[in-house]
Structures are given as C-alpha cells and as structure tokens.
Amino acid sequence: MTIPETQAEVVAFLRKILGNTPLLKETHISIVLIGQDTVFKVKKAVRLSFLDFSELSARKHFIFREFELNRQAAPGLYRDVVAVVRKQDGSLALGGTGEAVEWVLRMARVPDGDFLDQIAARGALSAELLDALADAVADYHERLPPVSGINHFAAMRRIAEGNVVSARDAGLPEAGIRLWEERIRTHLQRRQDYLLARAEAGRIRRCHGDLHLGNLCLWQGRIVPFDALEFDEALATIDVGYDLAFLLMDLEHRLGRAAANRVLNRYLARTGDWSLVGGLPVFLSIRAMVRAHVQAKQGLEADASAYLAAALDYLAPPRAVVLAIGGLPGVGKSSLARIIAPELGPAPGAVILRSDEIRKRLHGALPEQPLPPSAYQPAADAAVAEELIRGVSIVAGEGHAAIADATFLNLSLRKRLAEQAKSHGWPWLGVWLTAPLPVLESRIRGRQRDASDADIAVLHRAYASDPGPGDWTVISAEEKETAVASLRSALQGAGLL
C-alpha cells in the first residue's frame, strides 16, 4: 500500500508534529500515525468500488461520521476532528485560520498490547475477559435504537451477492464459490420469514458493522468497540445478530468454539434475545466468506481456504437438541453445561438457559449481582420457570441446541420441558447430577463471581426436599472429569451427540 501523492505533504507534517518517528500504519482506505500519546488518522484520497474518498469534502464528511459513531462507545479514545490548514505563508498548521487541505481524526493512543486480537494471540483472553467482552457488546447493542423500514431479507441477499462478486474478484476457487452461492441462497430463502420477523421485533439497528477482535480494546479498565464502519450505512444497518456473528466467527477461528460459545451465552443471558440463534448459520457463513475473500486478496491462500470451508460448514448445521441438567445447588450443573455446550448443535454450540441468569435479567441485575429474598418468592420462581420454557422453545424452535440448567426440584417443570421437547420431535435428555452433601457445601463456600445466590442454608433446604432423579439419567458429579465422560456417553446413547 502507498500513500497518495497528494497527501504526502500532510502526512510528513503530521509525522513532524508527533515527533520521535511515529509508527505509520496503512489500510486500503486510511493512514494512521501513532505517536507517544496521540494518534492521527486520515482518510486516503482514493476511489474504490465501494467508496469514494477522492474529494476533500467526502473525506471531511466521513472523518466526522467516524468520530460521531465511535466517541460514545469509546469516550476519551476519540478526541476530536481538526483541519490541517494552509497558512498565508504556504506552511501547514493543525487548526486555526486558513484553507483546509485535509481533515484529521485525533485519538488517544491505546497502550501496546491492549487490543483484543493481541490479547487473544498471547493466550490471555481469559473467561473473565470473554464475559466482559460479551457484556460490552450487549450494552453497545442495547443502547442502539431500532431502525424501521428495512427489508432485512433483501438486505442480507444483497450482502451475500456482493460477497460472491468479491470472492470471484479475489480469485477464490470457482467450485467453492458456486457451492456457497447455491447454499446461501437456499438458506436465505428458507429464512425469509425469520429475517422479516427480526426486523419487526426491532433487532435491526445501526450497528458497529465491523465487530471483530481487532476492533475491540481495553480502554480505561474496560472493553470498548472502536473503528465502527462509517462509509456505508446499508452495510452497518443490520441485525444485531449479524453484527455479533463477526465476533463469534473471529473467536472460533482464533481461539476455538468454546470461547465463541461463552461469549454467545453471556450475550444472550444479558439480552434475552433467544431468537438470534436462528440466523447464525447464515450470519456466520457470510462473515466467514468476507474473511475468505479478504485473505485471498492478501495472498494468504491457506487462511482463505480455511474460511471458505467454514463458510460452507456453517450452512450445514446439525439438528436441534434439548438437554436438561438438574440437581441440588453446588452440584456443578453450570460447569458441566459450559463444558458440553460447544459440542452440541450448530455453531458455536448450545445455548445455556440458566435459571439463575434468567432470574437476574428479569430483575434488571447483572448475572453476578446478588438479589434480595423477594426475588426468590413463589411468583418470581414461576416467572423464571416460564421464561426458561419459553427460551428453550424459541432456541430449539429456531433449529439450535438448548441446555436447560436449573435445580429442577419442581417436578411439574421437568414434565413440561420433556413434553415440550417430545411434542416437537426434538431429541431430548434429562440428566440428574449427584454428589455428597459435604462436597456440595464445599463448592458453595468456594464460589466466586457466580450467578447463583444459593448459600448453605438454601442448599440444606433443597437437600431436605430433594425429589430425586425420577426418570432422568443419574450422573455422579463428585469428580468433574468422570462426570463429563459420563455425560458425553449419555448424550451419545440418546442420539444427541
């Protein structure tokens, strides 16, 4: 990549301001100069098939648009937009009077190593950071107002068709392109009603548009998205699920399905947007195809092939299944569910509908935020049960895998869940975990950052009224490794795995 000749003087001027030989990074549309504590970003004076920054007026418009889109999500990171002006003596100045010859976005410098793709590369994207990442994206999406008047089906079809053109332009194998084109068209047609319903439900918003790990960072102690797509409103006015899918696909490719599954489940626990999973095969596939032709364009053939294969695989998802995991507090239901979820159903694995997290969301609390005793009265318990049943119905009904995680001391709830699965023909298994009381007590005492508010007193009350497994499959959870192996065996025997 090269700096346009008409902008060389401006770039040299900005480098001089930053001093100490600032780091220069380029993309096909931007020039970024990184100083000690300040970053300058300039739009390249280029005309491409999908944008035209050749005129100064356009560069001014889109640099301000970028500033407006990002400053609320990352306050302090985006400082201002300032003109580079030509003074009367012919020299350049940053701001002040004179003819504007360029417009510059001024940003703070993110500390080295604090971009999430860098954190992932060094193996430091911990479970806590994955939860914080999901929280950041959920909060970002929930603040966005719904956009009406969008034909979501037609929009996704246009995006898919554009990717076919880009894939051919990048030189991806024709046979793979044709197969993907056929499959994506079929899936979009099948999902037309779903896509239109998502729009009616207010899930179309002016999103980030380019939400992958490289566009998220740690800033002032929290994860923030930055560099939202500014040059094409249509490409960014999308389903929140399609926005999230880029991140999920990126996580799966870089770190594996377990990381993507954790982020998906935390996001859904925060938002309750259960129907989002119905679009994931299409959303993930298109995002993978985007990466495939971008990598091919850069000459990275192995990566391009891997992304193309993933784009095709996402469009051949396994069938919906339902797993219920019950047992007394502290028995390890949620730990076991989290381990097995990435292995069940379509990418990136099963949705875990945890009663403790549902209760917190219904009360407007974060998963780890303790609730008062009033949140555990019979009426509240009934509301949690109804949402659990509703969530399983939506998730499995959209063709995804669902794991219901609750104590299931209520036998009628067990019966309702089993009848729901059987009536829809979803492969189903109920599992009852057991462990000695001292083990349960020890686990509860050792809990940290957990959605469950159950203490020793709650455990003892539950132990006294334990209805037992009934007709559910019993698995000893005293040793985690043995429990995981037993669960996998039970799932295989029931045809769920």
> What's the total number of domains in the chain?
3
The reported pLDDT for the residue numbered 51 is 86
What secondary structure, in 3-state letters, does 343-396 show?
HCCCCCCCEEEEHHHHHHHHCCCCCCCCCCHHHHCHHHHHHHHHHHHHHHHHHH
For residue 48, what pLDDT is reported? 84
Give the SS3 label for residue 16. Answer: helix
Distance, CA of 305 to CA of 283 (rounded, Å)? 19
Rounded CA-CA distance 337/484 in Å is 9
My answer on whether 433 and 331 are in the same domain is yes
The CB density around residue 404, as the number of other CB atoms within 10 Å, is 28
Q: How far apart are CA 180 and CA 34, in angstroms?
A: 40
The dihedral over CA atoms of 256, 130, 194, 199, expressed in degrees to the nearest 10, equals -140
278: closest CA among 184, 400, 420?
400
In 3D space, the residue among 59, 72, 234 whose CA is nearest the CA of residue 143 turns out to be 72
103/14 same-domain check = yes
Q: Tokens 């549309």 map to which residue? A: 29
Tell me the pairing of strands 99-108 and 204-206.
Answer: unpaired
* Residue 268: Cβ-neighbour burial (10 angstroms; 0-12, 13-18, 19+): buried
Q: How far apart are CA 102 and CA 140, in angstroms?
A: 31
Domain boundary (64, 90, 108) is at 108
The amino acid occupying position 397 is G
Per the DSSP assignment, residues forming a β-bridge with 476 are 434
Residues 19 and 126 in one domain: no
Are 285 and 181 found together in one domain? yes
Stated as kind and residue range, the H or E segment containing 431 is: strand 428-434
Backbone angle region of 125, left / alpha / beta, with phi > 0 → left and psi within -120 to 50 → alpha: beta
| Residues 339 and 289 both lie in one domain | no
| 274 and 162 in a common domain | yes
- Name beta bridge partners: 33: 24, 40
Q: Choose among 265, 307, 299, 206: nearest CA to 402.
A: 265
Which residue, 108, 143, 159, sits at the end of a domain? 108
Residue 32: its pLDDT value, please?
Answer: 95
Of 50, 81, 108, the residue at which a domain comes to its end is 108
Co-location of 240 and 131 in the same domain: yes
pLDDT tens-place values along the chain, 497 residues long: 688 888 999 999 999 999 877 889 988 899 999 999 999 999 999 988 788 899 999 999 999 999 999 998 998 999 999 999 999 999 999 999 999 999 999 999 999 899 999 999 999 999 999 999 999 999 999 999 999 999 999 999 999 999 999 999 999 999 999 999 999 999 999 999 999 999 999 999 999 999 999 999 999 999 999 999 999 999 999 999 999 999 999 999 999 999 999 999 999 999 999 999 999 999 999 999 999 999 998 899 999 999 999 999 999 999 999 999 999 999 999 999 999 999 999 999 999 999 999 999 999 999 999 999 999 999 999 999 999 999 999 999 999 999 999 999 999 999 999 999 999 999 999 999 999 999 999 999 999 889 999 999 999 999 999 999 999 999 999 999 999 999 999 999 999 98
Question: How far apart are the C-alpha atoms of 355 and 187, rounded to whole Å?
Answer: 32
Q: Are residues 344 and 453 in the same domain?
A: yes
Q: Does one domain contain both 284 and 342?
A: no
| Residue 17: domain span | 5-108
Residue 39 CA to residue 18 CA, distance in Å, equals 8
Diameter of the chain by CA atoms?
89
Q: Which of left, alpha, beta for 475 (phi over 0: left; psi -120 to 50: alpha)?
A: beta
Query: Is-contact 86 98, C-beta < 8 A?
Result: yes
Which pLDDT value is given to residue 112? 87
CATH number at residue 86: 3.30.200
Q: How far apart are CA 210 and CA 187, in angstroms?
A: 23
Placement of tokens 């193309």 in the chain = 308
User: Which DSSP string corresponds to 98-150?
Assistant: SEEEEEEEEEEPPPTT-BHHHHHHTT---HHHHHHHHHHHHHHHHTSPB--S-
| Same domain as 475, residue 342 | yes
User: Looking at the structure, do residues 336 and 402 belong to the same domain, yes or no?
Assistant: yes
Same domain for 97 and 128, yes or no, is no
Instruction: Report the 10 Å Cβ neighbour count for 210.
Output: 18
Q: What is the pLDDT of residue 475?
A: 98
Q: What is the CATH number of the domain that holds 227?
A: 3.90.1200.10
- pLDDT reported for residue 1: 64
CATH assignment of the domain containing 391 = 3.40.50.300
Tokens at residue 186, please? 């079929």
Q: Identity (one letter) of the amino acid at 175?
A: A
CA dihedral 417, 418, 420, 422 (to 10 degrees): 160
Whole-number pLDDT of residue 176: 96
